[in-house]
């Protein structure tokens, strides 16, 4: 009996202990559930939404670049690419191995992807491959369950339809480098490109636009179920240039195999109608990453295709500078246009002889004849009379020796030397012999083709014309929905006067007219024969290697007999039409020999084409809106 009672008591205690434990456990679970579902409900609601909804930045379409008539010079094309998001895969390297089994990935690409993954935040997509074919897209989609964190996106890539014809003008875009990251998430997107050169770089912020946002519902495996919300970004602005693409194309082709540059301007408002640097390159190579072989080929080319010679090439102007020397002499009051000099073919200064290009000399010439025949001795005489400082001051008045501020990167200032400059920079005094060679555009003087075109436009107009390349939205005036450039307002831009009497400028113009249109002029054989299109020009040749006395005694080799790098540069400047100047050109053919034989015929053809196209009187594009809105890129899984 006692044993049975003890057994019952023992069972009761155990039941109570078990029941108590169950009550405690249930209370703990209830408390935890209350804490999670009530106290922490908002936190876990957010976490749940983040797990269900995937937020993505949407890159905006980059603005287009068009010419004065709306011809598209830089646009966008559809691009299929595969991306990986590091936080959605446990092992990025293993995932890349699986992707490599579906579409080809080189070891270089894998290293690049891993480098990008490490420098980006884990939720930022990293581009694996772009410009995929439909077959490659299909293979990725079929194998999607085995590729965690990998997806296909549809975006846009930059395209340059005129390729090498506009490379130095438009520039190109390329991937954002690590040093260019600013913390802006837009710059970390896998396919985002920024301007690296040309107009693309100068107007990069305007062309970029603002990013949009997409909210995608995903399942536990990360697969997209549907798009919940989409807020499109703001497309980049379109940029309209002053360039006439037809003239640009013609000028580029006219250079052929030559190396050099040409700039064509409107002399009344400074609009650049063509800007060519030859040889060139295809900027589309940089959009998706240029290969090592192509890059080395561009770097090792002796004609420097990557250099924009039109505004960064610095060359002695040679005889194209003689109008500036003539105007400096007239402005000094020390000579008049009737000043005459006898040219025997040389001028002696102490025991040094300075030669004229014409061995037998030109005889007695006045200022207009000196320009027409490009007599070196005449300009040695002028330079000696007025000195280097007056020459330099007049050169600066005509846009030489300083940056002109055109809307392109890499512009160089050239050089207008003075006595103080040489003493400050080189630590030596100025010599009279240096003044003489400066009188024919040699020595320390350096100019760019852009500056030569500006100089010529100022001679033709008498005003301080400044070159411009873009039509800014702020400078556009609305006229019944049409866009009208401020440069084409009724009176045009109000450029200041050069402060020179018209009679002085008339002497320079008469000399240039004689060069091209009077028998005996140095460019008479390269004239435009149609009177209504006739141009006034000036030839020039710039030595790149000094001719020694020993070479003169044995006979100076002709340009075509020398190695290409030792030949003279050929230059030519001109404006047209003669009676009513509207267009100006400055150009150089590197190592082309004589300006009359090489540069003048190319410039003549470009100026004739320009006038027949008549980009000034032909109305520019009435509105960029005519191009239609930029398409927003869509993305899919």
Provide DSSP, 63-127: PPEE-TT--EEEEEEEEEEEEE-GGG-S-HHHHHHHHHHHS---HHHHHHHHHHHHHS-TTS-EE
Model confidence at 61, pLDDT cuts 50, 70, 90, reads: confident
Model confidence at 168, pLDDT cuts 50, 70, 90, reads: very high
3-state SS, 319-339, equals: HHHHHHHHHHHHHHCCCCCCC
Which token pair is 292? 């090592």
Model confidence at 476, pLDDT cuts 50, 70, 90, reads: very low
Q: Please give the torsion angle defined by the CA atoms of residues 30, 34, 40 and 46, in that order, rounded to the nearest 10 degrees.
A: 90
Give 375 or 592, the one with higher predicted confidence: 375
Distance spanning both ends of the chain, measured CA to CA: 79
Mean pLDDT confidence for 550-572? 71
What pLDDT score was predicted for residue 631? Answer: 65
- Please check the confidence at residue 194 and state whether its pLDDT lies above 60: yes
User: Helix, strand, coil % (nearest 5) of the chain?
Assistant: 45, 20, 35
Give 17 or 349, the one with higher predicted confidence: 349
Q: Please give the torsion angle defined by the CA atoms of residues 96, 99, 101 and 105, in that order, rounded to the nearest 10 degrees.
A: -70
Mean pLDDT confidence for 58-83? 89
Every domain range in the chain assigned CATH 3.90.1310.10: 54-241
CB-based contacts of 285, cutoff 8 Å, min separation 6: 291, 294
DSSP state at residue 471: E
Mean pLDDT confidence for 239-250? 96
Nearest to 542 by CA among 584, 598, 583: 598
Give 461 or 150, the one with higher predicted confidence: 461
* Spatial distance between the Cα atoms of 371 and 438, rounded to a whole number of angstroms: 15
- Please check the confidence at residue 485 and state whether its pLDDT lies above 60: no
- Please check the confidence at residue 392 and state whether its pLDDT lies above 60: yes
Mean pLDDT confidence for 64-76? 94
Mean pLDDT confidence for 630-636? 55
What pLDDT score was predicted for residue 41? Answer: 66
Per DSSP, helices labelled H in 239-321 are: 245-255, 284-287, 292-299, 309-312
Mean pLDDT confidence for 300-311? 94
The predicted-structure confidence for 619-628, as pLDDT tens digits, reads as follows 676 556 556 6
Give 619 or 588, the one with higher predicted confidence: 588
Mean pLDDT confidence for 99-124? 82
The predicted-structure confidence for 245-296, as pLDDT tens digits, reads as follows 999 999 999 999 999 999 999 999 999 999 999 999 999 988 767 778 888 9
* Spatial distance between the Cα atoms of 495 and 398, rounded to a whole number of angstroms: 13
Beta bridge partners of 158: 76
Question: Among all residues, which ones are annotated catalytic?
Answer: 319
Q: How many CB atoms lie within 10 A of CB 564?
A: 13
Give 221 or 446, the one with higher predicted confidence: 446
CB 251 within 8 A of CB 579: no
Mean pLDDT confidence for 230-254? 92
CATH architecture of the domain covering 54-241: Alpha-Beta Complex (3.90)
In degrees, rounded to 5, the angle at the alpha carbon of residue 573 between the alpha carbons of residues 262 and 570 is 70
Mean pLDDT confidence for 593-604? 93
Q: Report CA Rg, the chain.
A: 36
3-state SS, 480-516, equals: CCEEEEHHHCCCCCCCCECCCCHHHHHHHHHHHHHHH
Which token pair is 250? 């013609």
312-326, 350-364, 540-554: least confident range: 540-554
Specify the pTM.
0.81
Distances (CA, A) of 340 to 5, 75, 76, 343, 516: 148, 58, 62, 10, 22
- Please check the confidence at residue 593 and state whether its pLDDT lies above 90: no
The predicted-structure confidence for 409-418, as pLDDT tens digits, reads as follows 999 999 999 9
- Please check the confidence at residue 50 and state whether its pLDDT lies above 60: no
What pLDDT score was predicted for residue 128? Answer: 84
Nearest to 319 by CA among 261, 363, 274, 380: 380
Q: How many CB atoms lie within 10 A of CB 560?
A: 9
For residue 632, whether the previous peptide bond is cis, meaning omega lies within 30 degrees of 0, is no
Mean pLDDT confidence for 138-142? 86
Every domain range in the chain assigned CATH 3.40.710.10: 245-613
167-181, 278-292, 432-446, 466-480: least confident range: 466-480
Give 552 or 348, the one with higher predicted confidence: 348
- Please check the confidence at residue 222 and state whether its pLDDT lies above 50: yes
CB-based contacts of 18, cutoff 8 Å, min separation 6: none
- Looking at the domain covering 245-613, what would its CATH class be? alpha beta
Average per-residue pLDDT for the chain: 85
**Left, alpha or beta for 222 (phi > 0: left; psi -120 to 50: alpha)?**
left
- Please check the confidence at residue 520 and state whether its pLDDT lies above 60: yes
What pLDDT score was predicted for residue 465? Answer: 97
What pLDDT score was predicted for residue 395? Answer: 98
What pLDDT score was predicted for residue 633? Answer: 56
CB 246 within 8 A of CB 70: no
What pLDDT score was predicted for residue 491? Answer: 45
Nearest to 57 by CA among 189, 181, 184: 189
DSSP state at residue 598: I
Nearest to 96 by CA among 81, 84, 80, 108: 84
Model confidence at 223, pLDDT cuts 50, 70, 90, reads: low
Beta bridge partners of 260: 278, 589
Which token pair is 474? 């702020």
For residue 577, whether the previous peptide bond is cis, meaning omega lies within 30 degrees of 0, is yes
What pLDDT score was predicted for residue 448? Answer: 98
What pLDDT score was predicted for residue 488? Answer: 42
Mean pLDDT confidence for 56-80? 88
What pLDDT score was predicted for residue 518? Answer: 97
């Amino acid at each position: 009996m006692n044993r049975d009672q003890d057994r019952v008591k023992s069972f009761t205690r155990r039941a109570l202990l078990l029941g108590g434990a169950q009550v405690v456990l249930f209370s703990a679970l209830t408390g935890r559930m209350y804490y999670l579902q009530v106290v922490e409900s908002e936190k876990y609601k957010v976490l749940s939404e983040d797990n269900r909804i995937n937020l993505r930045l949407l890159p905006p379409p980059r603005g287009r670049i068009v010419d004065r008539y709306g011809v598209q010079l830089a646009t966008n094309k559809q691009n299929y690419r595969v991306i990986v998001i590091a936080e959605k895969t446990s092992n990025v390297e293993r995932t890349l191995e699986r992707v490599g089994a579906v579409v080809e990935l080189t070891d270089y690409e894998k290293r690049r992807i891993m480098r990008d993954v490490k420098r980006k935040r884990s939720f930022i997509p990293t581009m694996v491959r772009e410009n995929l074919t439909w077959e490659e897209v299909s293979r990725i989609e079929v194998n999607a369950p085995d590729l965690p964190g990998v997806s296909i996106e549809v975006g846009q890539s930059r395209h340059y339809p005129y390729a090498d014809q506009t490379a130095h003008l438009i520039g190109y875009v390329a991937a954002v480098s690590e040093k260019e990251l600013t913390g802006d998430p837009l710059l970390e997107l896998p396919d985002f490109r920024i301007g690296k050169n040309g107009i693309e770089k100068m107007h990069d912020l305007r062309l970029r636009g603002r990013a949009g946002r997409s909210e995608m519902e995903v399942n536990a495996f990360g697969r997209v179920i549907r798009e919940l919300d989409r807020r499109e970004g703001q497309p980049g602005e379109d940029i309209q240039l002053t360039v006439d693409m037809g003239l640009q194309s013609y000028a580029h082709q006219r250079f052929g195999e030559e190396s050099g540059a040409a700039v064509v301007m409107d002399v009344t408002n400074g609009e650049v109608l063509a800007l060519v640097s030859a040889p060139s390159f295809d900027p589309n190579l940089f959009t998706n990453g240029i290969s090592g072989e192509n890059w080395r080929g561009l770097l090792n080319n002796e004609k420097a295709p990557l250099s924009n010679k039109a505004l960064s090439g610095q060359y002695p102007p040679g005889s194209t500078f003689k109008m500036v020397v003539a105007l400096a002499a007239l402005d000094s009051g020390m000579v008049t246009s009737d000043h005459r000099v006898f040219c025997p073919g040389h001028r002696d200064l102490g025991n040094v002889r300075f030669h004229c290009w014409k061995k037998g000399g030109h005889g007695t010439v006045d200022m207009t004849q000196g320009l027409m025949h490009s007599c070196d001795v005449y300009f040695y005489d002028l330079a000696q009379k007025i000195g280097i400082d007056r020459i330099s001051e007049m050169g600066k008045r005509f846009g030489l020796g300083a940056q002109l501020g055109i809307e392109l990167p890499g512009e160089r200032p050239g050089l207008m030397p003075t006595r103080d400059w040489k003493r400050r920079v080189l630590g030596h005094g100025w010599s009279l012999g240096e003044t003489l060679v400066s009188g024919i555009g040699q020595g320390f003087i350096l100019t760019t083709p852009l500056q030569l075109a500006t100089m010529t436009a100022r001679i033709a107009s008498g005003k301080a014309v400044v070159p411009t390349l873009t039509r800014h939205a702020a400078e556009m005036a609305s006229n019944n929905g049409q866009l009208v450039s401020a440069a084409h307002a009724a009176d045009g831009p109000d450029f200041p006067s050069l402060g020179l009497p018209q009679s002085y400028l008339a002497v320079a113009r008469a000399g240039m007219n004689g060069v091209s249109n009077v028998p005996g002029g140095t460019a008479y054989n390269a004239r435009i024969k149609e009177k209504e299109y006739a141009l006034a020009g000036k030839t020039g040749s710039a030595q790149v290697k000094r001719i020694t006395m020993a070479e003169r005694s044995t006979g100076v080799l002709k340009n075509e007999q020398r190695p290409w790098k030792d030949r003279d540069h050929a230059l030519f400047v001109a404006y047209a039409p003669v009676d009513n100047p509207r267009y100006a050109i400055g150009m150089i053919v590197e190592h082309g020999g004589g300006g009359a034989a090489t540069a003048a015929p190319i410039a003549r053809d470009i100026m004739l084409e320009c006038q027949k196209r008549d980009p000034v009187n032909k109305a520019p594009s009435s509105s960029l809106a005519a191009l239609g809105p930029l398409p927003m890129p869509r993305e899919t899984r």
